[in-house]
Chain A
Amino acid sequence: MTAKLKKEDLLRAYRIMREIREFEERVHVEFATGEIPGFVHLYSGEEAVATAVCMHLTDEDRVASTHRGHGHCIAKGVDIHGMMAEIYGKKTGTCGGKGGSMHIADLDKGMMGANGIVGAGPPLICGAALAAKCKGTKGVGVAFFGDGASNQGTVLESFNLASMWKLPILFLNENNGFAESTGVSYSVPTPNISDRAAGFGMPGVTVDGNDFFAIYEAAGEAIQRARRGDGPSVLECKTQRFYGHFEGDAMTYRAPGEVKKLREESDCLKIFAKKVISDNMISAAELEAIDKEVLALIEDSVVKAKAAPNPTEADLLTDVYISY
């Protein structure tokens, strides 16, 4: 394996995954009350991917996210209180309440932003990676993109540019099986999205996106490769989402009982917990303690977000323009 994971690493990984899960489960509940403006796209089920990848990154490294970006933000270290407030459109939000779910960004943490445009992250990460390369910072960029985005010209153009210029990038494909409601077998002609990397002169690898350890290892190799100047690569994580494309999606394109089965058999958190407990690395009690702390954190974030003030008219033009 790339590096030995110590107990504190495992506890950290579990905590991040649990924070993402509880954050999303709570947003699911709160969105149904009608209090949250705009749309939300939940990351539940895919937690292992963002967590395993971002554990290799520092604040200097950049992440370009997707419309399903809450998990990436949490894994990259964005403050959960700020995120919840942002989703509620409050002044205390990460972006002052003006971005909402699909535009959470925190440059201090290297989070360039969730993004409402499918396939928009890869071109942005090319810019960030080029800057890192020119400045010689050894920083890397990670662009998350889905199976739907994999068919966008922007993604393929980014593959080409990144490979041509040997940019320090990990193109991280989260293949959750559906582009909105279109199954991947209807829209992608190759067995693996990572197969496309070969056409651009990059290595492409596919791993089980529900296995934290497999993702951690593969992402570690790819990020190390980018950091030492060997160029970009594509890592495809085959995973699944537990909710619809957006909140309110009736998911009529899924078989009856499909999600229930996924939650029972393919839940990355359950798989992780079972593994570390059976290996005597972490006790069930230690994981339960994390669960309680995280639940309290999420509850606190919701309470504070609801109580926070809305942006005022005076905030309308702040953070809109920037002078370099």
Chain B
Amino acid sequence: MNNPHLNSTSVGILANPESGRDIRRLMANASLFLIAEKCNIIQKMLLALANVGVSNVVMMPDRSGVAAGVIHDNEIHRSISPDSIPNIHFIEMPIDGSPVDTVRAIEQMVKMGVGAIIVLGGDSTHRLVAKVCGATPIVPFSIGNNNVFPEFHEATAVGTAAGLVAIGAVPLAEVSRLNKVLRVEKNDTINDLALVDLCITNDQWLGTKSLWHPDSFSELYLTFAEADSIGLSSIAGRFHPVRRCSPYGLRLELVPPCDDVIVISAPIAPGLIVNVGVSNVTEILPKEVWHVNRHPYASRGVVALDGEQEIEFGPSDHVKVWLENDGPTTVNVREVLAKASENHCFVKFPVMPLENIEERRDAFLEY
């Protein structure tokens, strides 16, 4: 780390260039975020952070051009206006060119005490971040495909919100949410989590990790389900929505569509709308432990976390799932900006009282 004097008024930005290349580009209509676009997004965030008074930003290094692109863009901005961009500190860490880099970077950002971390990525990147970010608030920025956890906002707004939280201009408690998570344990040894959906399939292997064959789904656990979402949570979102802030989650038993069950038409990947049969729906409460049943016709199964197959299990394995209220703290960008506006955080000169404006309006009308 180049600068040991960072404190909570600094902001971390996590942009792993390796994310977003999975098979959903082949079997669905998923899009690709190029490095140049990621750099462009980061640049807007940096300008916004500087604008609200954040002077230090921490980023992860990479070998694929994000860091190099940011450095290059910053040199141009600094040559025009030296104060327009915060100081950027790249973490000294090994680079694997894999999701492990995300975990390493977040651990370092937390250790350095940044005031907030902006995460560029989809559900799976946010899941990795959630495993290690602790109490540090994250500001999700959606890039990728089946994104449900991070909501869509413009990069300048996200940078502004992260900066306002980090410098304490708005109280974190009023603009943030402690998220629910689904925790999974295999044989009391493997522990992992999902932020949105946890699906049990009867697949044999992880393969490319993505899910798109609903016939293999047997159980689906959800922290929330919104009607406008995409991915597995859309199955419940389209007939039994659950809000992010609701004190419970959902458990669905899934079967191939037939006459005896509810059949939902759901977009389980971008552009991939399939019929899914739901034989049972249960609202699940925090700490209520569910023991995973193997698919009746399969000896093996896989646990998919936020749309990616992660844990294989066999006949002798014991897998349990439960909901918790101890997920990551996320900043609500819209709330931050609304609160900041109410508090006149963006007003550079004294605010004209409302009655003055009314008096002036009356005077104008009389005239």
Determine which residue in B25, B63, B205 has the highest number of CB atoms from chain A within 10 A of its CB, and name it.
B205
Q: Return chain A residues, CB-CB under 8 Å to B23.
A: 205, 207, 217-218, 221
CB–CB B21/A1 < 8 A: no
Which residue of B34, B213, B300 contacts A279 across the interface (Cβ within 8 Å)? B300
Which residue of B26, B63, B97, B206 contacts A218 across the interface (Cβ within 8 Å)? B26
Q: Return chain A residues, CB-CB under 8 Å to B34.
A: 190, 195, 198
CB–CB A204/B25 < 8 A: yes
Contact with B along A196-225 (1 / 0, CB 8 A): 001000011111000001101110011001
Q: Return chain B residues, CB-CB under 8 Å to A207.
A: 23, 208
Which residue of A5, A191, A217 contacts B35 across the interface (Cβ within 8 Å)? A191
CB–CB A195/B32 < 8 A: yes
Interface check B75, CB cutoff 8 A: no
Given known contacts A198-B32, A204-B32, A218-B208, is B203 in contact with A191 (CB within 8 Å)?
no
Which residue of B18, B32, B35, B205 contacts A275 across the interface (Cβ within 8 Å)? B205
Q: How far is the CA of A289 from the CA of B65 in the complex (A)?
A: 48
Determine which residue in B27, B34, B63 has the highest number of CB atoms from chain A within 10 A of its CB, and name it.
B27
* Main SS at interface, chain A: mixed
Interface check A185, CB cutoff 8 A: yes
A221-256 at interface with B (beta carbon < 8 Å)? 221-222, 225, 233, 235
Given known contacts A191-B35, A191-B65, A195-B34, is B25 in contact with A279 (CB within 8 Å)?
no
Taking the nearest CB of chain A, how far is it from the CB of B15, in angstroms?
12
Contact with A along B136-155 (1 / 0, CB 8 A): 00000000000000000000
Taking the nearest CB of chain A, how far is it from the CB of B299, in angstroms?
8
Q: How far is the CA of A192 from the CA of B300 in the complex (A)?
A: 33
Closest to A281 in B: B204
Closest to B312 in A: A279
* Main SS at interface, chain B: loop
Given known contacts A191-B97, A206-B21, A279-B300, is B205 in contact with A1 (CB within 8 Å)?
yes
Taking the nearest CB of chain A, how far is it from the CB of B30, in angstroms?
8
Q: How far is the CA of A1 from the CA of B21 in the complex (A)?
A: 17
Given known contacts A189-B65, A225-B26, A233-B26, is B207 in contact with A213 (CB within 8 Å)?
yes
Interface check A280, CB cutoff 8 A: yes
Q: Return chain B residues, CB-CB under 8 Å to A292.
A: none
Q: How far is the CA of A216 from the CA of B205 in the complex (A)?
A: 11
Q: Return chain A residues, CB-CB under 8 Å to B32.
A: 195, 198, 204
Closest to A238 in B: B97
Interface check A4, CB cutoff 8 A: yes
Q: Return chain A residues, CB-CB under 8 Å to B192.
A: none
Which residue of A5, A205, A280 contacts B25 across the interface (Cβ within 8 Å)? A205
A1-50 at interface with B (beta carbon < 8 Å)? 1-2, 4-5
CB–CB B25/A203 < 8 A: yes
Q: How far is the CA of A1 from the CA of B23 in the complex (A)?
A: 11
Which residue of A191, A203, A222, A233 contacts B17 across the interface (Cβ within 8 Å)? A191
Q: Return chain B residues, CB-CB under 8 Å to A213.
A: 205-207
Q: Return chain B residues, CB-CB under 8 Å to A115.
A: none
Q: How far is the CA of A279 from the CA of B299 in the complex (A)?
A: 10
Interface check A194, CB cutoff 8 A: yes
Taking the nearest CB of chain B, how far is it from the CB of A254, in angstroms?
17
CB–CB B65/A190 < 8 A: yes
Which residue of B65, B206, B312 contacts A214 across the interface (Cβ within 8 Å)? B206
Interface check B22, CB cutoff 8 A: yes
Q: How far is the CA of A249 from the CA of B205 in the complex (A)?
A: 37
Which residue of A1, A195, A206 contacts B213 across the interface (Cβ within 8 Å)? A1
Interface check B64, CB cutoff 8 A: yes
CB–CB A190/B205 < 8 A: no
Which residue of A195, A216, A222, A280 contacts B21 across the interface (Cβ within 8 Å)? A195
CB–CB B65/A5 < 8 A: no
Q: Return chain A residues, CB-CB under 8 Å to B213.
A: 1
Q: Return chain B residues, CB-CB under 8 Å to A221.
A: 23, 26-27
Q: How far is the CA of A222 from the CA of B25 in the complex (A)?
A: 10
Q: Return chain A residues, CB-CB under 8 Å to B300.
A: 279
Q: Return chain A residues, CB-CB under 8 Å to B216.
A: 1
Interface check B171, CB cutoff 8 A: no
Q: Return chain B residues, CB-CB under 8 Å to A279.
A: 204-205, 300, 312, 314
Contact with B along A273-302 (1 / 0, CB 8 A): 001000111000000000000000000000
Q: How far is the CA of A203 from the CA of B21 in the complex (A)?
A: 10
Q: Return chain A residues, CB-CB under 8 Å to B314.
A: 279-280
Closest to B309 in A: A1
Q: Return chain B residues, CB-CB under 8 Å to A204.
A: 21, 25, 32
Closest to B64 in A: A191
Q: How far is the CA of A151 from the CA of B110 in the complex (A)?
A: 40
Q: Return chain A residues, CB-CB under 8 Å to B205.
A: 1, 213, 275, 279
Closest to B36 in A: A190
19 further A-B contacts with Cβ under 8 Å, apart from A191-B35, A213-B206, A217-B207, are: A1-B207, A191-B17, A191-B18, A191-B64, A191-B65, A204-B21, A205-B21, A205-B22, A205-B25, A206-B21, A213-B205, A214-B206, A218-B23, A218-B208, A221-B23, A222-B26, A233-B26, A235-B26, A281-B204
| In the complex, the 3 A-B pairs of residues with the closest C-beta atoms, listed nearest first | A191-B64, A217-B207, A206-B21
Q: Footprint of A on B, CB under 8 Å? A: 17-18, 21-23, 25-27, 32, 34-35, 63-65, 97, 203-209, 213, 216, 300, 312, 314
Some 10 contacts from A to B, beta carbons below 8 A apart, are A1-B205, A190-B64, A192-B18, A195-B32, A203-B26, A213-B205, A214-B208, A217-B207, A279-B312, A281-B204
